[in-house]
Amino acid sequence: MKLIICGAGQVGWQIAKHLSSENNDITVIDKDPELVRRLTNSLDVAGVTGLASHPHILERAGAKDSDMIIAVTLSDEVNMVVCQVAHSVFSIPRKIARVREQSYLAIDYSDLYRAEHMPIDFIISPEKEVANVAIKRLQAPSASETETFLDGSAQLLGIKLGDDCAVLETPLRQLSELFSTLEAIVVGVRRNRVLFIPKPEDQLFAGDEIYIFSFEDDVPRIFEIFGKTTKSGERLIIIGGGNVGLEVATQLEKQFSQFHVKIIERSRKRAEKIADKLEKTIVLNGDGLDLDLLEEANIDKVDAVLALTDDDKTNMLSCTRAKESGCPITISLVNDPSLTSLLSPMGVDGFISPKTTTVSLILQHIRHGLVKSVYSIGDAEAEVIEAQVLGTSSIAGQAVRDIKWPKDSILGAIKSNGQTKIPKGDTKLQEGAVITIFALSKDIPEIESMLQVGMDFF
C-alpha cells in the first residue's frame, strides 16, 4: 500500500513506525527539515520537507498514485485542506484527518465533511477519545492501562505487580488450577522494559507489568489476586481545565451522577469559562502543584487525581504531590512515551497516552476489511487486533492448539454465537467468530495474512 503521512510529530512518527516494517510505501511530509531528517534516518520511509497542504508538495510525495493520506499536523486547518486537495486534485481514495477544535466537530456542522463538501473519510478527535479513556481508567483505577473489546464483553488490563501480589513466582499454567473459575489469560509481560509473550511455564515477578484479558465481572477478583485495590474513585480532582479536562468533567456530569468532581485550572480566564459550562463541578483557580490549594480542595479525602494539563512534567509532578498529600490513586496524561518508565518510581498509578489513543484509532482504519478494532501497546511494541474469522481463512474451523500462530502472538478472547470466552486449546474458531490477538509488532503482517484481512479501501 502506498500512503502519505502529513506531520512528523509523535503521532505521525508512531504510525510510520508501525507500518514501515510491513512492506508499505510510505512518505512523510513535514515543514521541519530536522524532523524529516531524523525520521528518514530512523525508519524505512521517504521524506518531503514543506507545507503538506500545498499541491506541489503533495505531488512530490507521490499523491498521484497514493492509496491513503493521513493528516496529523499540529494545525486542524492544514489537515482539513490536505484532505480537500488530496480528493479534488489527486483523487486519493481514503483520507484521515486529526481535528482538535470542537467547533469543527459540532453536530450542527456534520454535513461539512460530506464528499461533495470537504471529503474526509475519518476524523480523529483526540480530546474526546482521550476523555473516554480517562473515564475508563477511573472505572478501573488500579490498572495502568485498560481497553475493551468484543462489544465491551472482554477487557484488556495493564497491571504493574508489586511485592504484595499473591501469585509471584508461580508458573502461569498453575493460575488456572489455583483459580479454576476465573476467566482470564496473561497475554503479555513487560520486564526490564522488554515486552514478551509469556509461556505457560513462565513466572511473574515484582516489577513486572502484565497485560491480561478477562471479563468485566472478573475484574475485581483479578485486582485482588494481583494485589490491587478494587475501589473505583467517586471523589475526584482534575488538574487542568483544558479541552480534555473539560470533556471528562462534562461526561461525568452527564453519565455518572455519583462522581463529585473538582477542577484546578491555572488560567483565571479559562477557569471562569469552564465554570460557566459545568453545572455540578467545582472549579478552582490556581496551580495544581500548590500545596495550600490542594489542601483547600481536600486532597487527602479524594479517591483519585487525574492530571490532564498539556505539560507532561506538570502532570507527573502533580500526581507525585497528590500522592504525598494522601491521595490513593493518581493518573497522569503523558504525551512523551519515553517518560512512562518514570511513572511507577514517582508513585503514579496509571497513565493516559493521547498518542497511543490516536494511533490505535488510525491503525483501526488502516487495517481495513474485517478488522474491527486495533489497540497499540507501548512505543509501537505490540498491537491487539480484533477481527472476524473469514470462512476462507486458514484458521477457520481449526482448534486453537492446531493453528501455527506466529511465535510472538497469542489469542486473548473469542466471541461466537453471542458468547464470549477465554479460548482453550480445543476451542474451535468457527466462521463468523470475532477474536482478539495480542502480537508483537513484527508478527502483525503474518497475523493479517492468516486472517486474510486485506487493506481494501474501495
- Stated pTM of the model: 0.77
245-274 confidence digits (pLDDT tens): 999 999 999 888 888 999 999 999 999 999
Tally of domains within the chain: 4
| For helices 243-255 and 268-277, angle between their N-to-C axes, nearest 10 degrees | 20
Which of 54-62's residues contact partners 24+ apart within 8 Å by CB, and which partners?
55/85, 55/89, 57/29, 58/4, 58/29, 58/82, 58/85, 58/86, 58/89, 58/90, 59/90, 61/4, 61/27, 61/29, 62/2, 62/4, 62/25, 62/27
Q: Is the domain of 181 the same as that of 196?
A: yes
Q: Which residue has the cell 503474518?
A: 446
Domain boundary among 316, 335, 352: 352
What is the CATH classification number for the domain harbouring 202? 3.30.70.1450
Within-domain flag for 424: yes
Domain boundary among 62, 94, 124: 124
Residue stretches of the chain with pLDDT short of 50: 368-369, 453-458
Q: In angstroms, rounded to a whole number, what is the distance separating the alpha carbons of residues 179 and 208?
A: 20
**Is 25 in contact with 3 (CB distance < 8 Å)?**
yes
Q: Is the domain of 271 the same as that of 329?
A: yes
Within-domain flag for 456: no
pLDDT value of position 408: 95
pLDDT value of position 350: 86
Within-domain flag for 192: yes
Within-domain flag for 458: no
pLDDT value of position 211: 96
Within-domain flag for 111: yes
**Is 146 in contact with 136 (CB distance < 8 Å)?**
yes
Q: Is the domain of 35 the same as that of 96?
A: yes
**For the purposes of burial, counting CB atoms within 10 Å of the CB of 436, is it exposed (0-12), middle (13-18) or buried (19 or more)?**
buried
Within-domain flag for 91: yes
Q: Is the domain of 383 the same as that of 345?
A: no
Q: In angstroms, rounded to a whole number, what is the distance separating the alpha carbons of residues 144 and 377?
A: 12
Q: Is the domain of 41 the same as that of 109?
A: yes
Q: Is the domain of 206 the same as that of 317?
A: no
Q: Is the domain of 249 the same as that of 275?
A: yes
Within-domain flag for 138: yes
Q: Is the domain of 313 the same as that of 369?
A: no
Q: Is the domain of 165 the same as that of 194?
A: yes
Domain of residue 167, residue span: 130-225
86-138 confidence digits (pLDDT tens): 999 999 999 999 998 888 888 888 788 877 788 899 998 888 888 988 888 88
Q: Is the domain of 416 the same as that of 371?
A: yes
Q: Is the domain of 347 the same as that of 250?
A: yes
Q: Is the domain of 16 the same as that of 120?
A: yes
396-426 confidence digits (pLDDT tens): 899 999 999 999 999 999 999 889 999 999 9
pLDDT value of position 452: 66
Q: In angstroms, rounded to a whole number, what is the distance separating the alpha carbons of residues 216 and 420?
A: 11
pLDDT value of position 369: 46
What is the CATH classification number for the domain harbouring 41? 3.40.50.720
Domain boundary among 124, 157, 188: 124
Within-domain flag for 457: no
